[in-house]
Amino acid sequence: MQFNRSKVMLACVVASAMALGACSKNQDSKKDDTLTATSPATGEASNLTERNKQQRLIQTLQANFKKADINAKILDVKPTEMPNMYWVSMEGMSSVYATADGKYLIQGDVIRLGDKKLSSIGDKIQATENKKHFASLKVEDLLVYPAQGKAKHVVYVFTDASCPYCHKLHEHMSEITAKGIEVRYIAWPRGEQFIPAMESVWCSANRQTAFDQAIAGVALPPATCKNPVRDQYALGLKMGVNGTPAIYSSEGEYLGGYMTADEIESRLNK
């Protein structure tokens, strides 16, 4: 994709892993932590200096987006291990990288060399942010399927009752929980028209039964309670979720879209 030439919205940029085995978002439809950077030259903490750099970078990027008719909201920027390269988080979009002067963007992964295994310089940053988001959730606001026996792992899954791949994943719930994996569903309706069904599930006396019905196509009674569905949808946007199911470990690592029970277990045990 040629970013400047096509002038397409960054919202169209979806990580390739998210595009496989997932239902895409229907198109019709900060916590302000103190950031610490270590100066490579002196090793001294420079909170304020780095913070000012980040704010200037955000302003520059937003101005350049506006010039290019790109509708993108920047949520945060963080310095990476690569000199003068920043990780940029945007609402409802996959993260990108930007040079410190805000003149260049890099879409996709920036790969670290030198180790036996290739890895992206942004993976740990994204996972750390995701872990904070999950820690802020209340278990009672989720749809939880406890592990059978002793829990070995917990996964968070953004789901939508209208999504065929979510249906396919849900059919194997007993296999997943039998492996000692607790599944915590987060509501993520892929469009405005799917919100009522998910709100009805979350307002039901038994969410598991209601979700089973909704995912099978049964029309549920209208929601009659205050519910967290829209807040959970907003959380997904902050994390760059753009399709369902989106499966994450409790450490914030993105595991994939639709996966078998064996595949989920294998990823978690690595």
CA dihedral 32, 233, 22, 249 (to 10 degrees): 50
Sites in the chain below the pLDDT cut of 70: 1-20, 26-46
Domain range list for the chain: 3-134, 138-269
Does the active-site annotation cover 32? no
CA 248/CA 203 separation, integer angstroms? 24
Element housing 128 (H / E): helix 123-135
Treating both helix axes as pointing N-terminal to C-terminal, what angle do 195-202 and 229-239 enclose, rounded to 10 degrees?
Answer: 120
Kindly name the residue from 160, 184, 225, 262 that is annotated as catalytic: 160
Does the active-site annotation cover 166? yes
Amino acid 26: pLDDT: 67
Say if residues 133 and 156 touch (Cβ distance below 8 Å). Answer: no
Element housing 265 (H / E): helix 261-269
Other C-beta atoms within 10 Å of 266: how many? 12
Mean pLDDT of the chain: 86
Does the active-site annotation cover 267? no
Domain 3-134: which CATH class? Answer: alpha beta
Kindly name the residue from 76, 184, 190, 203 that is annotated as catalytic: 190
Amino acid 28: pLDDT: 52
Q: Which two tokens stand for residue 71?
A: 């509708």
CA 191/CA 214 separation, integer angstroms? 16
CATH superfamily of 138-269: Glutaredoxin (3.40.30.10)
Amino acid 44: pLDDT: 41
Kindly name the residue from 23, 76, 163, 203 that is annotated as catalytic: 163
Same fold, 3-134 and 138-269: no
Q: What global pTM score does this model have?
A: 0.77
Does the active-site annotation cover 163? yes
